[in-house]
Structure 1
Amino acid sequence: MSTDPSALEREMEETRQRLAGTIDQLLHRASPKTVASRQAWSIKAHYVDPATGQPRTDNILKTVGTVVGVAAAILVVRRLTA
């Protein structure tokens, strides 16, 4: 580290620039639009293979089975309490 005032100013300006870039990256990553896009991509990747574009039938069938099971359980509980 130098004691030259101009060198210190230059180092401070470089540090400010790096911090500004980091803050911009963090703001982009945390923006609601970016977060929603990342989540949508994640969900799509769960049901469609990104490499081939083919549907992942095993994951689709698991989800459908879960939805049908929950719906059936709700119907049974309603009938028993009615």
Structure 2
Amino acid sequence: MPDASIASLEAEVVARRERLARTVDELVEKATPKAILRRQTEAAKARFADVAQTPEGELRVERLAAVVAVVAVVGGVLAYRALRRR
């Protein structure tokens, strides 16, 4: 009977070691710069889609126009300041 319990303990240790190795491999994969960049890119795309599209998938033109207007104003101010310094 002791041999059976030793064998089962050894099998359990081997199984836990394999699970731990898989977990470590998954963590290493998640921590690679490429994986982090991919997750951040997907999150940014999702945020943009939430802001720029209605739940039906149509573009929210008024929001996009507001963003374009702000970018144009900031760009104009920066260009004006750069030209004025010369």
Q: TM-score, normalised by structure 1?
A: 0.60
Higher radius of gyration, 1 or 2 = 2
Which segment is superposed worse, 42-51 or 11-20?
42-51
The runs of 4+ residues in structure 1 deviating greater than 4 Å are none
Cα displacement (A) at 1:66 = 3.9
TM-align CA RMSD: 2.8
Between the aligned residues of both structures, percent identity stands at 29
- Over residues 30-60 of structure 1, what are the superposed CA-to-partner deviations in whole Å (9 max), with x where a residue is unaligned? 34443333223222222224853333442x3
Distance 2:26 2:19 in 1: 11
- Structure 1: runs of 5+ lacking an equivalent: none
Structure 2 runs not aligned, ≥5 long: none
Normalising to structure 2: TM-score of the pair? 0.58
Stretch moving more, 35-44 or 46-55: 46-55
Residue 68 (1) aligns with residue 78 (2): no
Structure number with the higher helix fraction is 2
